[in-house]
Amino acid sequence: MLSGITSNELATLTTGSHQVRDGISIKYVHLSNAGAPRIALVHSLAMDHKFWLPVIKELGKTAEVVAIDCRGHGTSDKAAGPYNLELFANDVADVLEHLDWDKSLIAGASLGGAVALQYALNYPDRTSALGLIDTTSCYGPTASDDWAKRAQAARTKGLESMTEFQQSRWFSDKFRKENPDIVQFCVDTFIANDLDAYAATCHMLGGFDLRDRLIELAMPTAVIVGEEDYATPLEMAEVLHKGIAGSTLEVIKDGRHLTPLECPALIADRLLTLARKA
């Protein structure tokens, strides 16, 4: 478990699961605060809902929050591939409908940001605002091959062989040195993934391209990226910002790819500010 998260704080979260439209069971946690702004959160690749616990802690009693385990991740069902973003977005929609959320801010990091983007396109009337953190609308012309190679590496060498590379992408050298517990949490979560589900998600990320649809988005949108994010660099965030009318762009100094874990107070503040604009 992440340090700084107490058992009393976890006790305020309700854990549940919901069988979505294709029969897959999706795990979620829910922080209930009646009348507060509603925020739905989607985690990064190979993480799970616990990725968001530091942000949820910072939000405290100022928001009502749902964080899911994407299909193939955490304790949600490890459905067979292939996967696509429509499936992941529909999973979020079905969980929120199950909880009687008619409208909310949807935010995600990395993979989760792509899911949030697809959700906002599919369900604009249910999206009060959109938070796109360390993410992209497309991974570029070589994405299919790049992600296929990553999936193959996981299958042939194992997920554990990839963790040293991942750590340097996730966090700055300084952060890794000062926060070994958070780094270890991410490593442990990463290597616990189901190989087939991980590979299916990699292929999904290599195949999506939502750049031409950004013009459709009209809800308040915040684009946030780490200054040193090498996985989804500033150039990708700028495509989102330029494509979504009225969006804001913030670059977090010294941040890398997992800024919700690097600076949860800042991310919580920005999400709450965004939710209050909606």
pLDDT of residue 277: 86
Number of structural domains found in the chain: 1
- Per residue in 57-71, pLDDT (tens digit) is 999 889 999 999 999
- Per residue in 97-134, pLDDT (tens digit) is 999 999 999 999 999 999 999 999 999 999 999 999 99
Q: Cβ(264)–Cβ(58) under 8 Å?
A: yes
pLDDT of residue 12: 79
What CA–CA distance (Å, rounded) separates 56 from 70? 17
Q: Which of 194, 206, 207, 200 is nearest to 81 (CA)?
A: 200
The arithmetic mean of pLDDT across residues 16-45, rounded, is: 97
Asked if the structure places residue 145 within a domain, the reply is yes
Using 50, 70 and 90 to split pLDDT, how confident is the model at 264? very high
Q: Cβ(225)–Cβ(233) under 8 Å?
A: yes
Asked if the structure places residue 14 within a domain, the reply is yes
Asked if the structure places residue 2 within a domain, the reply is no
At 29 the three-state DSSP class reads strand
Using 50, 70 and 90 to split pLDDT, how confident is the model at 13? very high
Which one-letter DSSP state was computed for residue 37?
P
Asked if the structure places residue 177 within a domain, the reply is yes
State the CATH number of the domain containing residue 177: 3.40.50.1820
pLDDT of residue 7: 47
Q: Please, where are the H alpha helices in the chain?
A: 7-11, 53-59, 85-98, 111-122, 143-157, 163-170, 173-178, 180-191, 195-207, 234-243, 259-262, 264-277
Asked if the structure places residue 1 within a domain, the reply is no
Note down the domain range covering 86: 7-277
pLDDT of residue 9: 58
